Amino acid sequence: MLASVFLMQPIGQALAQIVGVWVLLGEDAAHGLHDKQCGIDMLHHEECKTIIDGTWRIVIGSGAVPALLAIIFRFFLYDCGLYTLEVKNKPGNAFRDTQRVYGAPPATSGTAASPAAAGHPYETEAVPRQFSRQNLRAFFVEDKNWYYLAGTSITWFFLDVSFYGFSLDNRSTLAGLWATTDRAPIGPDLPCWNSTLDGGTSLVPSWVTAGLPTWQSDPTRPCNTIYETIIDQTKQYLLAVSLASIAGSACFILFANRIRRREWLTSSFITLTVLFLVTGGVYYAVAHRSGAPATVVLVAICHFMFNFGANTLTFIIPAEIFPTSYRCLCHGISAAAGKLGSIVAVLVVYGIRAGYDSPTRQGLVFLLFATFMALGAVASWAYLPDVQRPVPDGRGRTRLETRTLEELGEGYRRACLEGQVIGLRNKWEDLWGRVSGRSRTKRMRMGMRMRMRIGRSEGTRSGAARGEGVEVEEEEEDRREDMGTVMPVMVEDNRTVHPVEMDGRGIA
C-alpha cells in the first residue's frame, strides 16, 4: 500500500508535464501561438507575453484541484484505533474508531460489555506523558531507538543529496544531456537572424550582447520559439525521468514482498553508486556528440533504480519500524533530513557551476554524488533493522513475511533479542567476528545482556510508578556473566537457540 502511495509521486510529476502541454496546445489552437514566433520576434511580443503568462497561471492553478480532493477525502477518513489510543490517549474513541474500520463484532449473550458501557472508567497504567522529556529520553536514549532514527534520517539525507543533485528539474541541464552538437554561435548564419514575418523584427541579434534569454534552455537550438522549447522540454523530461520513475515504482510494487527490503535498500544504494560512476564517465566521453543518447539512457536507468529501490524504501521503512506513538514524528524528522539533503545538493551544484566553467561539468556532478550514494549504503546497512523474516511455506521452501507493526514497534531491543546487530560499531565487530568465527556467540551474549537490561529497566520504571526505589545488583550480574551463566532461550536467524552453559570466555 505504501509503495502504491509513493507511485503517485512520479505519476503526479508526469501529469504536471502533460497538463502544461495540454494548456499550451489549447492556447495554440485558440491564438495561433506557434505561428507568432513568440520569443524570437517582436511583432507579437505583447500578445505572446499575455498568452504565456496566462498559460503558467492555469497550470499552477490546476494543481489546487488534487489538493482540494485530498482535503475532501480526509473528512471521510478515521484515525486508526491504535493512534487514538496511544497518541490521543482516548480508549473509548479508539474502540469506536476500530469499529468504524472493521465493523462491530456480533453481539452474543456471552460477550462481556466494554468498561465504558458498564459504567466503569478505563484504567491505564501510569506512563510518562508522550513527548515529555522523560518519555523522549526513555524511547530514544534508554531504549536506544535513536539508532533507527539515525538510520532513516541519514539514508533519506544522502538519497536526496544525490537525487536533487541530478538537477534534472533544471531544463538547461536536461537539454545538455540530449544535445548532440556543441553550442550554436549567435550570428548571421542562423536562419532566425532575420524575421520571417511581414513587418516583424528578429530579437536574435540582441542576444549577441545580452546573451540567451532565460527561457531558452537549449543553446544548440537558439532559433526555437517559446512554444517549441516548452514542447521539447516536456518530451525530454517524460522520456528521461517520468516514464523510468513510474516503471521503477510499479516494479517495486510487484517485488515488495519478494525481496528483503532492508537488504535491497543497501543493494540499491550500491547499484546507484556504480550507475552514477558509469554515467559520469560516459557523459565525459559522449557529451555533445552523436553518442549523447547513451547518457540519456543511463540517466533513465538511474531514475528507474531510484524508484525501484532507495527512493521508495526511504519513504516506506520509517513508516514501518517506529511504534504508533512516534511514527509520525520520526517519519517527519526523516523527511526533513531529506529536504536538508536537497538544500545541500543545490549548494553543491551551485558551487560546481560557479567554480568549474566547463561544458562537461555535469559529468563531475554525476561522479561527485556517487560518493553520497555509497555513504547511504553504509548507513542503511548499519542502522536499519530487518522488517521481514523467512517462514516455511509448507513445501520445503521459505517465503518472506513482513513483521507486524507491533513487533517492529518494540524497536532496538526486540531486534537485539532476535539476533540482529544494529549500529556501525556493532556491525563492524559482528563482521569481524564472522571472519574469526565468533560472531554467533557474540550475538547470543548481546541478546542475554539486552534481556538483563530490559528486566532492570522495566523494574526501575515499575518501581518509579509505585514511588519505590529499585536496587539493581550490577556487580552480581557482571560476576555471573564473567564466571559463566545459562544463556536464556532466544531466537536467532528464525531458529530457536536452546540454553547453553557459558564459561568465563563466553564459549559453550
DSSP letters, 53-111, are: HHHHHHHHHHTHHHHHHHHHHHTT----HHHHHHTS--HHHHHHHHHHHH-PPPP-TTP
pLDDT at residue number 171: 84
Look at residues 122, 112, 134 and name the one whose alpha carbon lies nearest to residue 85: 122
Give the whole-angstrom CA distance, residue 304 versus residue 342: 19
Question: CB–CB of 319/328 below 8 Å?
Answer: no
CA distances from 337 to 11, 303, 327 (A): 24, 21, 15
Q: Which residues pair with 495 in a beta bridge?
A: 492
pLDDT number for residue 325: 84
- Give the pLDDT of residue 103: 67
Q: Write out the three cell numbers for 439.
A: 560472531
Per-residue pLDDT of the chain (508 residues; tens, 9 = 90+): 899 999 999 999 999 999 999 999 999 999 999 999 999 999 999 999 999 999 999 999 998 999 999 899 888 877 676 666 666 666 766 667 666 666 666 555 444 445 444 444 444 454 556 678 888 899 999 999 999 999 999 999 999 999 998 877 788 889 999 999 999 999 999 999 999 999 999 999 999 999 999 999 999 999 999 999 999 999 999 999 999 999 999 999 999 999 999 999 999 999 999 999 999 999 999 999 999 999 999 999 999 999 999 999 999 999 999 988 899 999 999 999 999 999 999 999 999 988 888 888 899 999 999 999 999 999 999 999 999 988 887 787 888 888 988 888 899 999 998 889 999 999 888 888 887 766 555 556 665 665 666 555 555 555 544 444 444 444 444 444 444 444 444 444 444 444 433 343 333 3
- Which residue in the block uniquely carries the three cell numbers 534534472? 168
Cell output for 365: 556532478
Q: Which residue blocks in 103-168 are alpha helix, DSSP H?
A: 133-136, 146-165
- Cα(386)–Cα(353) distance, integer angstroms: 41
- Quote the DSSP letter at residue 205: G
The residue behind cell 532492570 is 456
pLDDT of residue 109: 47
The grid coordinates listed for 92 are 473509548
- Burial of 371-400, coded b for 16+ CB within 10 Å and e otherwise, reads ebbbbbbbbbbbbbbbbbbeeeeeeeeeeb
**Model pLDDT, residue 97:** 67
Which pLDDT does position 398 carry in this prediction?
A: 84
Is 445:485 a contact under the CB 8 Å cutoff? no
- Report phi then psi at 227, rounded to 5: -60, -50
Architecture, CATH, for domain 2-71+146-383: Up-down Bundle (1.20)
Do β-strands 398-402 and 490-492 pair in parallel, antiparallel, or remain unpaired?
Answer: unpaired
Query: 135: closest CA among 406, 446, 456, 464?
Result: 464
pLDDT for res 28:
94
The C-alpha atoms of residue 400 and residue 258 are separated, in whole angstroms, by 6
Pick from 16, 60, 21, 14: which is nearest to 227 by CA?
Answer: 21
Q: Domain ranges for the chain, please list them.
A: 2-71+146-383
Please give the Cα distance from 14 to 313 (Å, whole number): 21
